[in-house]
Each structure stands twice: as structure tokens, then as C-alpha cells.
Amino acid sequence: MTDRSPAAEFHAIKPVIGLTGGIGAGKSAVAQAFGQIGCAIIDSDRLAHEAIDEPINIAQLRNWWGDAILTTDGRVNRAAVGRIVFTDHAQLQRLNGLLHPVVLEKRKILVRKYQLQSQIQAIIMDTPLLLENGLQTECDAVVFVNASDSVRFSRVQAARGWNAEQLRAREKNQLSLDIKRKMAQYVIENDGDPSATLIQVRQTLDQILSRFKRLRISPETLH
């Protein structure tokens, strides 16, 4: 645990667990498995989608990139934005600079909310580029979700229509899998058997909660 984690603000009531892994590893599926056993999930992709659809942000994106990034009903065409930012790192940074502060504030609000709900065991951060953006400092534990290259490619091909070249191009913007794995404290294998994944999720949560209880700061020690 780190002193900078959100849990520290609440005298370590419950741990915040970040998920990392390669594209197509199934981090969201693992997050949902944590949800099945009493954890709250913060889906940063969903928060970003909410942020990008706020009128003030739509206006800014339109100012940058024109009407081509809008749908016929005036919402943001995320596929069009994706084509811009994933081929131009400067534009990606520009987009992140717009959305990240909004998502950060939304995430903080949710962490505070979930910390106060007694039925929740832990808070799961399902956040793309968790390590790349330094968000492990908001977490009490990081879990690396692993899947074979063939499984990951099959998933992104089926879900997003990507070919192998598109997958590699997007992975160039991320830390290598080896680095991600080394930066995590726990690993969950997620090659396709949901029941096996759920067993690992239960075991991992038990380990994290046990360690967290041993290390957490009691309110009395803060006075």
C-alpha cells in the first residue's frame, strides 16, 4: 500500500485494486468477476464516455477536429476520434488532457461513495493505461490479467474487428507486458474458462484483503 492511495483518506477502510494487462486480456471480464463476489467496479472507460459526451467537451473536440468527429445526432463518433488519436501521439495527449481531469474527479467521487458502503469488500479500478498514467499510486494493489497472444488477438478481432497490425500499433503506445507484470503484485490467468478465472479472482481477493488488514492504519494511530 502507499500513503497516496484513496483508501488512506478513509483510514484504510477497504482496498482499491487496479487491473492491468495487455489489450484483449479480458480485464473487464475479470472486473466483473470481482463484482460477483462483492466488489464495486469503477469503469474508467464508461466514465470517459460520459465525459466525452458532455456538451462543453463536444464543443472543444469539434473545434479541434471539425464536424467529421460527430454523428448525425451531434454526439461524438468515438471511432472517428480513435482514428485520429491512435495515429498521432500529440493528438492523443491533447484528448487525454481534456478528459483525464474530468474522469479523475468522477473516479474520486465513486471511491468515496464505495468506501462508505459496508457491503462492498474492495473497489476495482478497471482503467485503461493504469500504469502508463501512473494511476497505480491510487491503488493499494495491482493485478496483472494475463492471456496468451492468440487468445488476445481472437478477442480483439471478434469484438473490435482489428487485425494483428492494428493490435500491435495500439500496443506500441503501452508499456510492455513484461513491465506490466513486474509492476503488479498479483497475476490472474484469463485464457477463457470463466469458472477458472472466478476461482483465481476469489483467491486473489482473499490474499489482498488478508494483506490489507495486516497493514492498514487504524483510526486511533492517526491521532
Does the pLDDT at position 8 exceed 70?
no
Percent of the chain with pLDDT over 70: 91
Greater model confidence, 107 or 165: 107
pLDDT band for position 217 (cuts 50, 70, 90): low
pLDDT digit string, tens, across residues 186-199 = 999 999 789 999 99
HEC assignment per residue over the chain: CCCCCHHHHCCCCCCEEEEEECCCCCHHHHHHHHHHCCCEEEEHHHHHHHHHCCHHHHHHHHHHHCHHHECCCCCECHHHHHHHHCCCHHHHHHHHHHHHHHHHHHHHHHHHHHHCCCCCCCEEEECCCCCCCCHHHHCCEEEEEECCHHHHHHHHHHHHCCCHHHHHHHHCCCCCHHHHHHHCCEEEECCCCHHHHHHHHHHHHHHHHHHHHHHCCCHHHHC
Q: What is the pTM of this model?
A: 0.83
Does the pLDDT at position 46 exceed 90?
yes
The predicted model gives 30-53 an average pLDDT of 95
pLDDT reported for residue 216: 67
Does the pLDDT at position 143 exceed 70?
yes
pLDDT reported for residue 89: 83
